[in-house]
Amino acid sequence: MAAAESYPDDLRYHSEHDWARIEGDEAVLGVTWFAQDALGELVHYEPPEDGSDVSRGASYGEVESVKAVSDVIAPLSGTIVAVNTKVVDEPETVNTDPYGEGWLVRIKLSTPSEVDELMDADAYRKFVAEQ
């Protein structure tokens, strides 16, 4: 069963419907409820390799649903320090818990000031309402 629509206040959001949870000099990244709802049930997640670099606004992996294959866009730049293997094995976890067990990667931030360019939850809710 899909998760209920939500946009947690402790996260920062990117216009490509990705979220970031900032934890010191690292961030956990994933796709928002809006993104997983638009995609439908996820059936495959192609993650980046541990240790690879990601750039804000660039693709760092792919998710495949019953509807389409979509790039996952990095909301922040950094180096991959962990990949969520649960989502690799069970991609539908993103549909049921996009902000918890459905996270995609953890990065070490290379440009922490980029966080200031992301939307807070209120701004993202307004952005989604206009979609």
Query: What CATH number has the domain bearing residue 53?
Result: 2.40.50.100
pLDDT in tens, 6-48: 999 999 999 999 999 999 999 999 999 999 999 999 999 999 9
Q: How far apart are CA 5 and CA 16, in angstroms?
A: 17
Q: Please give the helix or strand (H or E) that residue 87 lies within, else none.
A: helix 85-89
- Residue 11 belongs to some domain of the structure: no
* Distance of alpha carbon 46 from the chain centroid: 13
Residue 102 has pLDDT above 90, yes or no: yes
- Residue 4 belongs to some domain of the structure: no
Please state, in angstroms and as integers, the Cα–Cα distance from residue 7 to each residue in 35, 43, 58, 86, 90, following that order.
11, 23, 22, 22, 22
* Percent of the chain residues past pLDDT 90, beyond the cut: 93
Host domain of residue 74: 18-125
Q: How far apart are CA 13 and CA 9, in angstroms?
A: 10
- Residue 10 belongs to some domain of the structure: no
Sheet of 42-46, strand order: 42-46, 59-65, 69-73
- Residue 92 belongs to some domain of the structure: yes
Q: How confident is the model at residue 4, as a pLDDT?
A: 84
User: By C-alpha distance, which of 76, 34, 42 is closest to 62?
Assistant: 42
Paired sense of beta strands 69-73 and 59-65, if any:
antiparallel
Q: How far apart are CA 106 and CA 30, in angstroms?
A: 9
Q: How many domains does the chain have?
A: 1
pLDDT class of 1 with cuts at 50, 70, 90: low
- Residue 84 belongs to some domain of the structure: yes
